[in-house]
C-alpha cells in the first residue's frame, strides 16, 4: 500500500517551552485504519493538529498525498476531514445546511446528492431539517462526522471518537468507520480505549511523552503481547522437566513446585483452536505428575500498554 501521509522528524515545542512532540516519524498507508494510542497529554492531538494545519511544527515536515502541509496547505487541507474531540456545531442551523456549508468551505461545488448520501450513512436523514441544538449528544457527534466527510476527504481524523458516547453509538461508529475504510478513506483515530484499537485498527502506534514508542500491525501486536500463562502447582516438586514435556516449552519455578505454560490468546486462537492445554494435561498424567491447583493469568492489552509506556 502506498503511503498517504509521511511524517518526518516532527517536533513541537509550545511557547510555554513544553515539548509536546519529539522527532516523530511515521508513515500512514493509504486505506488503512491507524489507531494512535497514548495517555493524556502524550501528544496525540498535537500530532493531528499539525497534520491538519492547525498547529505549526517547530521542526520536521509532513506530506499528505505528496503535498507539503505548510507550503501547500490548501492542497493538503482539502484532502483531510477532521472530527474534533469537542462537540461544536452551529446550534441554529439544520443538519442538511450545516453539512452542505462545510462542503462549501473547501471550495467544493454543491452536491446535494452526495450530502444526502453522507447524512443517510450516518442515520441522520430523518433529522435533516432539525436544528442541531435539538439533537441528542450522540446525534451531534454524527453531525460532526458528516461535516468532516462533506468535502469528500481522502483521510479522516477522529480524535477520541468514543469519548462520552454510549455503547450503541460506539458500535455504530465502529461500523461506519469500517464502511468508510471499505470505500477507500484512510482513517486515523486517537483513543484511550485499547478495546477500540483492538476492534478496528489495522495498525497501532503508541505515543508517550511526545515520542512514538511503537508502531505495529495490530495482529502482530496481539500475537506477541496477548499472552496467557497457565501455572500448574505440583503435589511434589520436580528436579527437571521430563523429556515428554519439552514440546510445551514449560518453565519450572518455585523450587520445582510450579510448572508454567505460556500460550497465545489472539482472536483466532480463542475461537476453538487448541492451545495445547488438553495435550499438556494428558502428558502430565502420562508422566504420573499430580497437581493440586491450576490457575491462569492473562496479560491484558491494558497491562501491555502500561508496561510499554512505563518502559519508555
Ligand X SMILES: Nc1ncnc2c1ncn2[C@@H]1O[C@H](COP(=O)(O)OP(=O)(O)OP(=O)(O)O)[C@@H](O)[C@H]1O
Beta-carbon contacts of 156 under 8 Å, excluding residues fewer than 6 positions away, are 80, 81, 82, 83, 148, 149, 180, 185, 186, 187, 188
Spatial strand order of the sheet with 155-159 comes to 80-83, 155-159, 186-191, 33-37, 203-208, 211-217
Which single residue is written with the C-alpha cell 462537540?
A: 87
The nearer residue to ligand X, 13 or 72, going by C-beta atoms, is 13
The nearer residue to ligand X, 32 or 160, going by C-beta atoms, is 160
The nearer residue to ligand X, 81 or 210, going by C-beta atoms, is 210
Footprint of ligand X (CB under 6 A):
14, 16, 18, 20, 38, 40-46
Nearest distance, CB of residue 7 and ligand X, angstroms: 14
Q: Output DSSP code: residue 131.
A: B
The nearer residue to ligand X, 45 or 65, going by C-beta atoms, is 45
Are 184 and 286 contacting, i.e. CB atoms less than 8 angstroms apart?
no
Cα 235 off chain centre by? 45
- Beta-strand ranges (E) seen in the chain are 3-13, 19-29, 33-37, 59-64, 67-68, 80-83, 155-159, 186-191, 203-208, 211-217, 227-234, 251-253, 258-264, 291-298
Left if phi > 0, otherwise alpha if psi is -120 to 50, otherwise beta: which for 276?
left
Nearest distance, CB of residue 81 and ligand X, angstroms: 18
The nearer residue to ligand X, 193 or 261, going by C-beta atoms, is 193
Q: Which residues pair with 8 in a beta bridge?
A: 61
Number of H helices, E strands in the chain: 11, 14
Cα separation, 184 vs 169, whole angstroms? 22
Nearest distance, CB of residue 158 and ligand X, angstroms: 13
The nearer residue to ligand X, 98 or 208, going by C-beta atoms, is 208
The nearer residue to ligand X, 18 or 117, going by C-beta atoms, is 18
Nearest distance, CB of residue 38 and ligand X, angstroms: 5
Which single residue is written with the C-alpha cell 510499554?
A: 308
The nearer residue to ligand X, 47 or 230, going by C-beta atoms, is 47
Nearest distance, CB of residue 305 and ligand X, angstroms: 13
Nearest distance, CB of residue 2 and ligand X, angstroms: 28
Closest listed residue to residue 296, CA positions, set 267, 269, 271, 264: 264
Nearest distance, CB of residue 265 and ligand X, angstroms: 28
Nearest distance, CB of residue 144 and ligand X, angstroms: 16
The nearer residue to ligand X, 103 or 141, going by C-beta atoms, is 141
Question: What's the grid cell of residue 139?
Answer: 446525534
Nearest distance, CB of residue 161 and ligand X, angstroms: 12
Amino acid at each position: 500500500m502506498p503511503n498517504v501521509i509521511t511524517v518526518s522528524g516532527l517536533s513541537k515545542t509550545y511557547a510555554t517551552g513544553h515539548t509536546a512532540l519529539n522527532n516523530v516519524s511515521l508513515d500512514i498507508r493509504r486505506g488503512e485504519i491507524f489507531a494512535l494510542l497514548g495517555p493524556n497529554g502524550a501528544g496525540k492531538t498535537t500530532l493531528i493538529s499539525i497534520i491538519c494545519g492547525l498547529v505549526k511544527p517547530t521542526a520536521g515536515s509532513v506530506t499528505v498525498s505528496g503535498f507539503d502541509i505548510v507550503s501547500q496547505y490548501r492542497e493538503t487541507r482539502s484532502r483531510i476531514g477532521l472530527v474534533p474531540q469537542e462537540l461544536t456545531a452551529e446550534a441554529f442551523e439544520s443538519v442538511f445546511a450545516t453539512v452542505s456549508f462545510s462542503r462549501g468551505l473547501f471550495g467544493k461545488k454543491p452536491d446535494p446528492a452526495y450530502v444526502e448520501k453522507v447524512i443517510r450513512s450516518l442515520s441522520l436523514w430523518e433529522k435533516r431539517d432539525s436544528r442541531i441544538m435539538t439533537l441528542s449528544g450522540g446525534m451531534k457527534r454524527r453531525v460532526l462526522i458528516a461535516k468532516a466527510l462533506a468535502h469528500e476527504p481522502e483521510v479522516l481524523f477522529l480524535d477520541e471518537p468514543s469519548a462520552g458516547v454510549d455503547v450503541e453509538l460506539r458500535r455504530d461508529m465502529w461500523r461506519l468507520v469500517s464502511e468508510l475504510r471499505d470505500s477507500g478513506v484512510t482513517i486515523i483515530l486517537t483513543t484511550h480505549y485499547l478495546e477500540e484499537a483492538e476492534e478496528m485498527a489495522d495498525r497501532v502506534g503508541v505515543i508517550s511523552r511526545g515520542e512514538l514508542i511503537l508502531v505495529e500491525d495490530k495482529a502482530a501486536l496481539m500475537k506477541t503481547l496477548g499472552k496467557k500463562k497457565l501455572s500448574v502447582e505440583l503435589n511434589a516438586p520436580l528436579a527437571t522437566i521430563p523429556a515428554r514435556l519439552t514440546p510445551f516449552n514449560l518453565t519450572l519455578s518455585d523450587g520445582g513446585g510450579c510448572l508454567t505454560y505460556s500460550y497465545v490468546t489472539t482472536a483466532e486462537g480463542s475461537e476453538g483452536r487448541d492451545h495445547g492445554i488438553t495435550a499438556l494435561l494428558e502428558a502430565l498424567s502420562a508422566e504420573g505428575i499430580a497437581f493440586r491447583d491450576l490457575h491462569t493469568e492473562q496479560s491484558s492489552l491494558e497491562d501491555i500498554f502500561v508496561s510499554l509506556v512505563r518502559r519508555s
